[in-house]
Amino acid sequence: MQRRDAPSLLSLLLVSLALLLLLLLSSSAASNSKPTTHPVAIVSSSRSSSDSCTMAASGFTSVPNQRPPPAQRAFTSVSVDAEIARIASKMQDRDLAQIFSNCLPNTLDTTVHYTPNQEGAEDTFVVTGDINAMWLRDSTNQVLPYTRFIAGDKHLQRMIRGVVNRQVQCVLLDPYANAFNLAPTAARGTPTPRTSSASSTRRSRP
């Protein structure tokens, strides 16, 4: 192995010190400089702030109310409706308030088939997509946002207990099916496992 002579080592040392000094100077200059202001894209409405305040006060919104009439809703929770009204009333953007009011109760309004039972055997079938079937995973996630409201709402408690009861029936009937129909379509009892080319994940039993 060749040995470096003293002048070469000294040159390397000087270069290293020079680089270190440059790094120190550049970091010091960066810390003392004012932050650069970059332009920020702001999505603004064509409405002025005064128009927004007027619409907030009058309740005007360009977003339609998409909820079914109360008599046509699949399930109604007093606590959920009260929370929707409370939060929506605090929103300055009435369009956003209406979108929120449409979205939060949508599962209750349109997808829940609830059969009450005072002995703890409630049954709740939740339609979980464009196919009228109940997926175990999806039905859990669809009712999950409402669990925060169950403390003071017995009716909501029973509905969610019905979801658990229905899921237990499904798993006991066929643990390999991923979705189930509301009513029996074969002589296998209720619920009926559903398979389709678009959604089935059933596997053959080992």
pLDDT in tens, 13-52: 665 666 666 666 655 554 555 544 433 333 333 443 333 3
Two structure tokens written together for 4? 């470096």
Confidence of residue 119 (pLDDT cuts 50, 70, 90): confident
1 belongs to a structural domain: no
Is residue 50 assigned to a domain? no
How many structural domains does the chain have? 1
Q: How confident is the model at residue 8 (pLDDT cuts 50, 70, 90)?
A: low
Structural domain includes residue 150: yes
Decide: 170 and 136 in contact? Cβ < 8 Å: yes
In a domain, 146, yes or no: yes
List CB contacts of 76: < 8 A, sequence separation 6 or more. Answer: 70, 108
pLDDT score of 118 = 72
Question: 49-78, pLDDT tens digit by residue?
Answer: 333 333 444 456 688 999 999 999 999 999
The reported pLDDT for the residue numbered 22 is 64
Q: So what's the pLDDT on residue 143?
A: 95
pLDDT at residue number 28:
56
Residue 206 lies in a domain: no
Residue 3 within a domain: no
For residue 88, is it within any domain?
Answer: yes
Least confident of 86-90, 98-102, 168-172, 188-192: 188-192
Q: Do 189 and 169 meet the contact criterion of CB atoms below 8 Å apart?
A: no
Q: Which structural domain, as residue segments, surrounds residue 168?
A: 74-184
- Band of pLDDT at residue 131, cut at 50, 70 and 90: confident
Query: pLDDT (tens digit, 9 = 90+) per residue, 160-194?
Result: 999 999 999 999 999 999 899 988 765 444 455 55
What are the helix (H) ranges across the chain?
6-32, 49-58, 78-89, 94-103, 106-110, 136-143, 154-173
Burial of 119 (0-12, 13-18, 19+ CB in 10 A): exposed
Question: Does residue 40 form part of some domain?
Answer: no
CA count, 13 A, side-chain hemisphere, 188: 16
